Chains A and B, each alone.
Chain A
Amino acid sequence: DAMVIQNPRYQVTQFGKPVTLSCSQTLNHNVMYWYQQKSSQAPKLLFHYYDKDFNNEADTPDNFQSRRPNTSFCFLDIRSPGLGDAAMYLCATSDRLAGDLGTKNIQYFGAGTRLSVL
């Protein structure tokens, strides 16, 4: 089945130690998103790619970087994780080339990576 896969599901890192989270998709969607979600809150968009065009949210800390080497893969790099970065990180995709406006807006999520910072 076509899907969005995030690895690892759980990641433990030390304060200040760089960490990379990965996301892959078999949906061939042109847009990929990274969200941060803290307990009982709505997901917060960090950035998104439209194809290779990178779009950073204004309030995303510089500590967060992203790479999208090809359509299928996207990475989230946290250069120096702090305790406040412990959260669930969600990857999502959408098909902006879909002909229907409603279909364009639907996002497909991976299962998430739970990041703990010690």
Chain B
Amino acid sequence: SQQGEEDPQALSIQEGENATMNCSYKTSINNLQWYRQNSGRGLVHLILIRSNEREKHSGRLRVTLDTSKKSSSLLITASRAADTASYFCATDGDSNYQLIWGAGTKLIIKP
């Protein structure tokens, strides 16, 4: 089932600008992940943040988590054309094996 919501649905920015995407979820979680999907390809895991963490960095990626608001944000700094992709958040939800996916944000970086 898909319980996550992401906004915006689509985002178009100039190369070099920062891109921020938001994700909200409904159930309690152990961790939250962000994945990237290039057009016509599979998803690639980017970063995982645990429920007891508030912020995490990986290269140009910064993820925040607010469990009181059941929300997370993904910031991509100094965007590049290669960052053009769809970005999905996913939470572990109630099941140990399944992920609950957000609807995704389509990011377009204009050169």
**Cβ of B41: which chain A residues have Cβ within 8 Å of it?**
111-112
| Given A90-B42, A109-B44, A50 contacting B103 (CB threshold 8 A) | no
* B42 A109 Cβ-Cβ under 8 A: yes
Does residue A107 face the partner (Cβ distance < 8 Å to B)? yes
**Cβ of B44: which chain A residues have Cβ within 8 Å of it?**
109
CA A6 – CA B42 in complex, angstroms?
10
- For window 55-109 of A, CB contacts with B under 8 Å fall at 55, 88, 90, 92, 94, 96, 101-102, 104-109
Query: How many interface residues does B have (CB within 8 Å)?
Result: 26
**Cβ of B103: which chain A residues have Cβ within 8 Å of it?**
41-42
Q: Which of B12-20, B67-75, B77-85, B90-98 lines the interface with chain A?
A: B90-98
* A48 B98 Cβ-Cβ under 8 A: yes
**Cβ of B90: which chain A residues have Cβ within 8 Å of it?**
107
**Cβ of B101: which chain A residues have Cβ within 8 Å of it?**
42-43
* A50 B2 Cβ-Cβ under 8 A: no
CA A41 – CA B43 in complex, angstroms?
12
**Cβ of A40: which chain B residues have Cβ within 8 Å of it?**
86, 104, 106
CB of B46, distance to nearest CB on chain A (Å): 10
* B88 A50 Cβ-Cβ under 8 A: no
**Cβ of B97: which chain A residues have Cβ within 8 Å of it?**
31, 48, 50, 55, 94, 96
Can you offer 8 A-B residue contacts whose CB atoms are under 8 A? A42-B2, A42-B101, A42-B102, A44-B2, A101-B30, A105-B92, A106-B45, A111-B42
